[in-house]
Structure 1
Amino acid sequence: MSDLTVDSTARAMAAAIAAREISARELLELHLTRIGERNPELNALVSLDPERARAAAEEADRVTAAGGELPPLHGLPFAFKDTHDVAGWRTTFGSPLLADNVPETDELLVERVRAAGVTVLGRSNVPEFAAGSHTFNRVFGVTRNPVDPSRSAGGSSGGAACALATGMVPLADGSDMGGSLRNPASFCGVVGLRPSLGRVPEWPLYNQWETTSVGGPMARSVGDLALLLSVLAGPDPRAPQALGDPGGTFAPPLAPVPLTGLRVAVSRDLGGAFEVDDRVAAVVRSAAEAIESAGAQVEDAHPDLSLADDTFRTLRAWHLNAKLGETHRANPGALKETLAANIEAGEPLTGADIARAYAQRTSLSETMRRFFDREHGGYDVLVLPVSQVPPFPVEQEYPADINGRPQPDYLAWMRSAYFITVTGCPALSLPAGHTPEGLPVGIQVVAPHGADRRLLSIATTLEEVLRP
């Protein structure tokens, strides 16, 4: 066996399998051992099937032995988010209503990852129907923070982020509407990318024109994130809004972008648009100082996203009502209270409300285009908090107050993430520091729509600058 561990990079693991320095079966056993050590306490992975995974790893080893070019994720253990349909695997969406659901077909994201050669071993835990940024449900229970199990791992990709951070899996998929890739990445100290609209196509969807939610990658490093994005990205005829760049465009290695001459806008709260925990603000401030010391031109600046709150809340309520309204009406009391309230908020919406939200979203997109227009004094990237709070106690569904100031509802603490959602821009959560209690805090790095590759290259440099 090689000297690989479960904490090695995904790129190193894939290279070692291709070079026959380690077998897929050996690599799987390393991960199953770590799962046995950490998962009973943290509850990051669910629906585990070690024997099925061992059979798949042995098949991967037969493919390796046959020679020929191997797919990019060949032999890597993988656990799909439990909101993505995986043929033949229990897929519950964290809901008792779907506790025994086993899809017959893969959705597109799963198709692509499976075709890239992974060994599926289970699913990553989620909140009910991926609603809310704290991972708990009545099927599998709560997922705990890998640094402090008394705290939340975030959500909705909380199981994925926790499993990554602890070496249970080398890569993870996720999805993001209001921060479901970014918030758990920040809480668990890993990297998560909400890609540009159209970068990672999805199919099947009840509405191909609803674009607040996107799929995306998570990893322990920016380079590994790029590896998974290279598998997820690229056009597909079933997804009419998919961007045309082929997935290989994002394959590592990434060329780091020198910070000298880079214009970086930094904002604690987008001009007072939301409350930010003082401990999170301190990490953002320290990161900005480090980025400036490394040569970037850092300015306290932000775009005007005052339309974002109404835009996101309107579209979220409309989307949840359209997707889950019938389920809610047919099963009164079956959904958690906060999700039911969001679904019901969509019932009185009119065509004029939806038209207003889309007009505002168009305005927000134009605001960001001008903000990032370098030819007219704009910025290369915007840096702000990922989450307005550090990981909160696991018993809470959401933080009721920030800095002692009450928050109006269970969405208010996620504004720093969902304000960016409705701009359509790519946004990356990058580990940047810790609170005095040692809890992970990430910064959110935002780039112009379509500039995912450049964002990853800039993040590669920032990763080195911010590394402890």
Structure 2
Amino acid sequence: MHVSPTEADALCARDAVEIADLVRRRELSAREVVAAHLDRIGRVNATVNAIVTLDPEGALAAAGRADELAASGAELGPLHGLPIAFKDTHETRGMRTTHGSPIFAEHVPEQDDILVQRIEAAGAIRLGKTNVPEFAAGSHTFNRVFGATRNPYDPTRSAGGSSGGAAAALAARLQPIADGSDMGGSLRNPASFCNVVGLRPTPGRVPVLAADDLWETLAVAGPMGRTVADTALLLSVMAGPDARSPISLETPGAVFREPLAPDLTGLRVAYAPDLGGRVPVDAEVRAVVARQVAVLEELGCRVTEDCPDLDGAEDVFRTLRAHSFRTGFGALNDGSPDRFKPSLLWNIEEGLKLTAGDLARVQAEHGRIHLAAADFFSRYDVLIAPVSQVAPFDVEIEYPTVVDGRPQHTYLDWMRSAYLLTVLGAPALSVPAGFTPAGLPVGLQIVAAPRAERTVLRVGAAYEAATRHGRTAPLLP
């Protein structure tokens, strides 16, 4: 199907909610939508390297079947006709899933992950896969299989990670929705870097069947979009109980498609510009985030500078992450020095040093932090903070080694503004907050009590409507 670049770009700039509505009313066909996105991918993707596996023939064939279903008068799913390339750590049956690792460079799964099943069952059309760091480790997307993903707002800069390919594909208008995952900021940091929206849900909101730990609460899967409404639409499909997951939440996903109350009058907001002095934040990022306090106050919020008790959160996160890496990747470590990138190998080896006493210590500390957070969120409706401590950095380096004049010794250090809040088990939304003087995106993190996704979505939607920072598109060829 032929589509002109001008027509393709206009269609690809539309919101996912709008495209889905037009397809449902048969004012657009799924083939038109997919063809437009394939055309734009063909012209733009080489600049950003966001989509690393692409199946245009399969996508067009699936779009044709979607149009036949629409013509039959059958009930259509909420994502009917929307194209999506899945994160390359999420298993896709019959399509290469590399995890960004040479170990799995030719791996073709025999079954889909739960979220892939749910998204495709809702009518979405698989385009391919989006780029990730090696085994999703680190918040900068590069690997030895596909290279680095570049930021659409400045291709000399990082797109963040680990859902960096997903965020860059959204920002570049290569797809209208994207799936991601988050342990230490892997949804939130790339959303911040690429001026899109990313939601880290409460653990169990989106079921994940991790073979090595069904009770995992640090790593979650979640939705991304260019708007809060698009992100909520995708969450409505990804969320919902699964009997195989012992921590899955019972609330049906469809509740996230219900309208959000726009009035924030009287909302109690805690503002933590540096998480109570626990994290350095570069001055240009701090300045952008500080300006958002006035925006929220104009929306009727009562803003107080305060922060939950995060003492011990560093130890909890790093210990549980290292244990998770030892469990998940230890069997793949055959002693070859180049089996993993050095930072990932270091994190696995940190896990190998752990004792039962270490795990017992952090489990107790994790419980104390959770109870303290429950008290905090009884006094505040939401917490706001920077998503990332830095603006998008040079794509050629692995991670920033200095933040606000303070050295960062490992690939994790500069991610504290995201991962310290991971420990709370709370939903955290990254929304566009504006730009540095150099035109680089900055995100605002909105956090609420566990299971309060609709609260962060409501605040995010009202804030988004007042600021419209996400409407500033990158200038790409």
TM class, shorter-length:
over 0.9
Alpha-carbon separation, structure 1, partners of 2:418 and 2:389? 9
What is the CA–CA distance in structure 1 between the aligned matches of 2:274 and 2:418, rounded to whole Å?
11
Q: CA RMSD in A?
A: 1.3
Find the aligned partners of 2:327 and 2:399 in 1 and give their Cα distance. Answer: 25
- Corresponding residue of 1:289: 294
Q: Distance in 1 between matches of 2:406 and 2:218?
A: 29
Q: Show the counterpart of 1:303.
A: 308
Q: How does 1:57-456 map to 2 (within 5 A)?
A: 57-256=63-262, 258-329=263-334, 331-373=336-378, 378-456=379-457
More moved, 195-204 vs 423-432? 195-204
Shift of 1:453: 1.3
Offset of 1:466 from its aligned partner? 2.5
Counterpart Cα distance in 2 of 1:319 and 1:234: 25
- The question of whether the paired residues in 1 share the 8 Å contact of 2:429 and 2:447 is answered with yes
Tell me which amino acid in the other structure corresponds to 1:275.
P
1:337 partner letter: P
Corresponding residue of 1:32: 38
Question: Is contact 2:295-2:463 (8 Å) kept?
Answer: no
- Indicate conservation of the 8 Å contact 1:255/1:457, yes or no: yes
Q: Which runs of 5+ in 1 are unaligned?
A: none
SS at match of 2:369: helix
Q: 1:447 is aligned with what amino acid?
A: A
How far did 1:331 drift? 4.1
2:244 counterpart letter in structure 1: R
Shift of 1:110: 0.8
Output the amino acid matched with 1:385: P
SS of aligned partner of 1:461? helix
- Counterpart CA distance in 2 for 1:121 and 1:166 is 15
TM-score, normalising length: structure 1: 0.97
What do the CA deviations read for 1:378-422 (whole angstroms, capped 9, x no partner)?
Answer: 111000010000000000100000123211211111000000111
In structure 2, stretches of 5+ residues that fail to align are: 470-477
Structure 1: which amino acid aligns with 2:354? Answer: L
Identity of counterpart residues, as a percentage?
Answer: 56
SS of residue matched to 1:217? strand
Aligned partners of 1:172 and 1:162: how far apart in 2?
A: 10
CA displacement at 1:204 relative to structure 2: 4.6
Cα drift, residue 268 of structure 1? 1.0
How far apart are 1:278 and its partner, in Å?
Answer: 0.6
Mapped to 1, the partners of 2:260 and 2:62 lie a distance apart of 31
* d(CA) in 1 for partners of 2:387, 2:372: 20
Cα distance in 2, alignment partners of residues 259 and 83 from structure 1: 37
| CA–CA distance in structure 2, aligned partners of residues 331 and 323 of structure 1 | 17
